[in-house]
């Protein structure tokens, strides 16, 4: 896996994996989902289940080396920022660079992994959405930028 990840990435993944897996392995889909999401990945539950099936040993345990393989598989296919921007651009027929907040609410609550009203409000707060327009490039950059670690 060293050819796919930098040494810094591997150290970060290892720290996160063993912080969440005191036993040194994981056996549950929700454990894998939590770890992947804490590493700024956005897998669907279906994808996480698939990674568990593909990369767990015959006893159902996923150890760190198998976790790295799952992370590699996911990083190869996930283009989160681009996917989100494409969704907003599809709603922006006039290519103005923004959609209404109501349009965004509708899409976020009715398509894909549907978000609750509370989740949408939290996203809007984090993305500094005030008023009726959502400038989607700035919104996506703001929401996907990791919070400072201090």
What are the φ and ψ backbone dihedral angles of 88, each rounded to 5 degrees? -70, -40
The pLDDT value given to residue 150: 46
Look up tokens 């949408």; give the residue: 120
Q: Which residue ranges of the chain lie beneath pLDDT 50?
A: 149-150
This prediction has a pTM of: 0.59
Domains 7-77 and 80-144 share a fold: yes
pLDDT score of 75: 86
Among 3.30.420.40, 2.40.30.10, 2.20.25.240, 1.10.238.10, what is the CATH number of 7-77?
A: 1.10.238.10
If one looks up domain 80-144 in CATH, what number appears? 1.10.238.10
Position 132 scores a pLDDT of 86
Residue 76's pLDDT is 84
**Interval 82-118: pLDDT, tens:** 888 888 888 898 999 999 999 888 888 887 778 899 9
Domain residues of the chain, as ranges?
Answer: 7-77, 80-144
């Amino acid at each position: 896996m060293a050819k796919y990840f930098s040494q810094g990435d591997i150290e970060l993944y290892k720290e996160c994996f063993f912080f969440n897996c005191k036993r040194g392995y994981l056996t549950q889909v929700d454990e894998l989902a939590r770890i992947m999401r804490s590493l700024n990945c956005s897998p669907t539950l279906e994808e996480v289940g698939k990674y568990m099936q593909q990369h767990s040993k015959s006893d159902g345990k996923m150890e760190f080396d198998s976790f790295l393989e799952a992370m590699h598989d996911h990083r190869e296919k996930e283009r989160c920022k681009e996917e989100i921007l494409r969704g907003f651009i599809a709603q922006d027929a006039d290519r103005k660079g923004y959609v209404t907040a109501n349009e965004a609410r509708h899409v976020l609550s009715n398509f894909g992994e549907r978000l609750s009203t509370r989740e949408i409000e939290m996203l809007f707060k984090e993305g500094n959405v005030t008023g009726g327009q959502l400038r989607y490039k700035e919104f996506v950059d703001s929401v996907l930028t990791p919070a400072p670690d201090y």
